[in-house]
């Protein structure tokens, strides 16, 4: 379902006329330019959907329209309505303002930082404020005042709050009262349609018993929203939930390998992949399914975006969302895995979705495998609807895929038109998603992560300076390795056979090129370096460490220069890479010269070695931005930027380690 936008409607963020998008969880309408920023924030901040070119459940659309027309935007701009804010110069952007940085900074402050939302007074009794708000929400959802409930949710009320006295959740109350729009709002904020009350009855049961049949059916759809969305993405159809809850498409094996051995290998790989998926515990499986759902949403919105924008002005590298944005509530491992989903081609992604749908069905039915080697037998589930549609052949590419469902105009370019002659209910014998090459992490995510690390390092340096001046011992650093290196807990999903999904080393990039740089060569002349190897064998390790304050001062200079490089990367100023790298190398040399040539501590030696190697590698990579060889006609700036950022990332890591070690040793 689509809608016509009233001419009086304006963008909630910049007041541009005729907004074409909505932020569902914020209850506002937004223009194309502001939407590009919303999409870059991620679904955990803003869930966007096009008003005319996306499929809408009627009640969900009505919920958004009701909120938008009843001043939901004032919830997110509460403090801006204060005349004092106008006098202080604080204002929202105009349509003519630049997207970056004016609009983007305002939107991030408004929705990510919640800078303008009404703040509750602080309470000493922790948890009481949230509980009181949730009780108010529990009571308010029986009315039609959507904006009141959105305000409570914005302040921290819990959509799944279980009322201890009444034994129900807010969704039970809304379902019993027949408040369809309240139910939609609660579900958007995470309310569970299948949550039991104190007697084991669900909101669906409440709606049915109260005679609200349509609401009950809608709540069933919400309960199966994830699997319904995945199935619709592949074949343009959803189950009716009366004859079954799952539609599981099958792959059309139109591009079967000619070599029998290769075909066998692919078949065995597919079986191994499916077993790994089945071996995940329910929590990890649910996380994977939710991440794939978010990737489907990204791809569908991306397809709408590409078909509705003015390509000469709006479709740029800065307005695109080529991968799932980082969610700070997730581990680094999970965020890496989410971003790698964007590297799956149409066929690989479709195969992953089919496996998830199949295993979701198996898990809900409580079926286990008779042995670890047995394949799934889906034919036993006679009560479910089976539609085996062919999707996404090996020859398909994302740009060639066309929309499948006419009721969802231009909803995506990812689902290939179906071919009824290719129906099959046999096992999938295609190259599995576990065989997908480990992808490069995105440059934008690394920039944002490193910017955060750099800021944290600057704050830590300032704190240490104060401690040094006071003569007091410095406490532990407020940030750990998770900010400086990829998490290696390996708890996420398999990506390759024998390899953890998203696990690995500090770097996801190909840094296989070697650089003949040792920590001892930094800060030394070429003559000193030439005889360094001979002398090092005879020189005793030096336990002397430099003054902590000196290390901090040099590290500040390194940090400042990295910040300048990151800004150049964000603004695509590739011609600034070389001068920035030279400044960083000089700062690194000065920092390393503070330390003895042969430090006694292994940790200092390894950190200095990483610092020197990374600085030299950075210079090599940055020179590629301005190739002197005339035969080099093209430069892959995306890959280059990724490599440059990784080098800067390693430099920041090494600098942080040296500051920490020096502070700790001096304290002792």
Percent of the chain residues topping a pLDDT of 70: 65
- On the question of pLDDT at 263 being above 50, the answer is no
Q: What pLDDT is attached to residue 86? A: 60
In words, the CATH class of domain 548-665 is: mainly alpha
Q: Which one is predicted more confidently, 117 or 409?
A: 117
Name the band, by pLDDT with cuts 50, 70 and 90, for residue 545. confident
Q: Do domains 127-235 and 548-665 have the same CATH topology?
A: no
For domain 21-112, the CATH class is mainly alpha
The C-alpha atoms of residue 364 and residue 276 are separated, in whole angstroms, by 18
Binned at pLDDT 50, 70 and 90, residue 387 comes out as very low
At residue 465, the pLDDT reads 60
CATH number given to 127-235: 1.25.40.20
- Kindly state the tokens that stand for 342: 């964007």
Q: Which of 2-11, 171-180, 233-242, 340-349 has the least mean pLDDT?
A: 2-11
Burial of 397 (0-12, 13-18, 19+ CB in 10 A): exposed
- Range 47-73 average pLDDT: 96
Q: What is the DSSP string of 329-345?
A: TS-HHHHHHHHHGGGS-
Q: What is the pLDDT of residue 293?
A: 97
What confidence score (pLDDT) does residue 274 get?
83
Nearest to 178 by CA among 215, 153, 150, 152: 215
Q: Check whether 472 has a pLDDT greater than 90.
A: no
Model confidence at 153, pLDDT cuts 50, 70, 90, reads very high
Distance from chain centroid for Cα 523: 40
pLDDT category, 390, cuts 50, 70, 90?
very low
Considering the chain, what percentage of its residues have pLDDT values greater than 90?
Answer: 42
382 DSSP 8-state letter: T
pLDDT tens digits, 155-169: 999 999 999 999 999
Closest CA to 26 of 69, 83, 72: 72
Write the DSSP symbol of residue 542: B
Residue 6 has pLDDT above 60, yes or no: no
pTM of the model: 0.57
Average pLDDT over residues 629-644: 70
- Worst-scoring range by mean pLDDT, 41-45, 193-197, 260-264? 260-264
CB atoms within 10 A of CB 92: 20
Residue 648: count of CB within 10 angstroms of its CB: 30
Give the separation between CA 37 and CA 49, rounded to whole angstroms.
Answer: 13
Does the pLDDT value for residue 444 go beyond 60? no
Q: Which of 630, 606, 608, 610 is closest to 618 using CA atoms? A: 610
What pLDDT shows up at residue 636? Answer: 72
Q: What is the pLDDT of residue 77?
A: 94
Mean pLDDT estimate for the chain: 74
Dihedral sign from CA coordinates of 540, 545, 546, 551: positive
Per-residue pLDDT of 296-330, as tens digits, reads 999 999 889 888 876 545 445 556 788 999 999 99
pLDDT band at 487 (very low <50, low <70, confident <90, very high): very low
Question: d(Cα 548, Cα 340) in Å, to the nearest integer?
Answer: 40
Q: Please give the pLDDT value at position 588.
A: 92
Residue-range domain boundaries for the chain: 21-112, 127-235, 268-363, 548-665
pLDDT band per the 50, 70, 90 thresholds, residue 334: very high
Reply yes or no on whether the pLDDT at 380 is more than 60.
Answer: no
Q: What span, in angstroms and rounded, lies between the C-alpha atoms of 207 and 482? A: 46
Least confidently predicted of 95-109, 412-426, 434-448, 606-620 = 412-426
* Per-residue pLDDT at 17: 95
3-state SS class at 10: strand
Three-state DSSP class for residue 610 = helix
Pairing of strands 28-30, 21-23: antiparallel
Report the pLDDT averaged over residues 122-131: 64
Q: Sorting pLDDT into bands at 50, 70 and 90, what band is 96?
A: very high
Of 255-264, 379-388, 456-465, the range with the highest mean pLDDT is 456-465
Asked which of 251-260, 535-544, 557-566 is least confident by mean pLDDT, the reply is 251-260
pLDDT in the model for residue 664:
80
């Amino acid at each position: 379902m689509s809608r016509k936008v009233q001419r009086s409607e304006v963008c909630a963020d910049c007041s541009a006329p005729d907004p074409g998008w909505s932020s569902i969880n914020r209850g506002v309408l937004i223009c194309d330019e502001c939407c590009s920023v919303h999409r870059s924030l991620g679904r955990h901040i803003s869930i966007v959907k096009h008003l005319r070119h996306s499929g809408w459940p009627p009640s969900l659309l009505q919920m958004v329209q009701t909120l938008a027309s009843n001043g939901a935007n004032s919830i997110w701009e509460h403090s801006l309505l204060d005349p004092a804010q106008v006098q202080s110069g604080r204002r929202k952007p105009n349509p003519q303002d630049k997207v970056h940085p004016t609009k983007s900074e305002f939107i991030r402050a408004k929705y990510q930082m919640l800078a303008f939302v009404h703040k509750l007074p602080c309470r000493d009794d922790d948890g009481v404020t949230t509980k009181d708000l949730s009780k108010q929400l529990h009571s308010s959802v029986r009315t039609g005042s959507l904006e009141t409930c959105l305000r409570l949710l914005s302040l921290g009320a819990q959509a799944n709050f279980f009322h201890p006295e009444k034994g129900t959740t807010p969704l039970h109350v809304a379902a019993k009262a027949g408040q369809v729009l309240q139910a939609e709002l609660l579900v958007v904020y995470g309310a569970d349609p299948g949550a039991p009350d104190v007697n084991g009855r669900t909101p669906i049961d409440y709606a049915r018993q109260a005679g609200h049949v349509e609401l009950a059916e809608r709540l069933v759809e919400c309960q199966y929203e994830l699997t319904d969305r995945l199935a619709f993405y592949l074949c343009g159809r959803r189950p009716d939930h009366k004859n079954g809850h799952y539609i599981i498409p099958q792959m059309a094996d139109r591009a079967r390998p000619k070599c029998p051995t290769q075909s066998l290998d692919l078949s065995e790989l597919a079986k191994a992949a499916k077993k790994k998926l089945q071996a995940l515990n329910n929590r990890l499986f649910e996380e994977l399914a939710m991440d794939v759902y978010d990737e489907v949403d990204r791809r569908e919105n991306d397809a709408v975006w590409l078909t509705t924008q003015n390509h000469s002005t709006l479709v740029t590298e800065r307005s695109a969302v080529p991968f799932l944005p980082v969610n700070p509530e997730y581990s680094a491992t999970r965020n890496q895995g989410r971003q790698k989903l964007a590297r799956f081609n149409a066929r690989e992604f479709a195969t992953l979705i089919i496996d998830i749908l199949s295993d979701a069905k198996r898990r809900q039915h409580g079926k286990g495998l008779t042995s670890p080697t047995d394949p799934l037998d889906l034919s036993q589930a006679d009560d479910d609807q089976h539609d085996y549609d062919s999707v996404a052949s090996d020859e398909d590419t994302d740009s060639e895929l066309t929309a499948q469902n006419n009721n969802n105009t231009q909803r995506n370019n990812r689902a290939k038109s179906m071919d009824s002659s290719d129906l099959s209910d046999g096992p999938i014998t295609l190259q599995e998603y576990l065989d997908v090459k480990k992808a490069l992490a995105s440059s934008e995510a690394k920039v944002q992560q490193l910017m955060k690390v750099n800021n944290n390092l600057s704050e830590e340096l300032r704190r240490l300076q104060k401690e040094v001046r006071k003569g007091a011992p410095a406490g532990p650093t407020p940030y750990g390795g998770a900010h400086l290196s990829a998490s290696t807990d390996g708890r996420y999903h398999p990506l390759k056979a024998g390899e953890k999904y998203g696990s690995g080393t500090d770097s996801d990039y190909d840094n296989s090129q070697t650089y003949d740089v040792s920590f001892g060569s930094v800060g030394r002349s070429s003559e000193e370096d030439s005889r360094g190897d001979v002398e090092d064998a005879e020189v005793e390790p030096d336990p002397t460490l430099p003054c902590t304050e000196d290390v901090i001062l040099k590290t500040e200079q390194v940090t400042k220069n990295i910040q300048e490089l990151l800004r150049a990367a964000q603004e695509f100023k590739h011609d600034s890479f070389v001068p920035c790298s030279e400044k960083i190398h000089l700062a690194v040399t000065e920092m390393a010269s503070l330390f003895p040539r042969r430090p006694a501590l292994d940790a200092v030696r390894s950190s200095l070695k990483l610092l020197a190697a990374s600085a030299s590698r950075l210079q090599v990579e940055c020179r590629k931005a301005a190739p002197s060889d005339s035969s080099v006609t093209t430069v892959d700036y995306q890959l280059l930027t990724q490599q440059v950022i990784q080098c800067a990332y390693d430099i920041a890591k090494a600098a942080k380690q040296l500051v920490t070690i020096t502070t700790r040793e001096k304290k002792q």
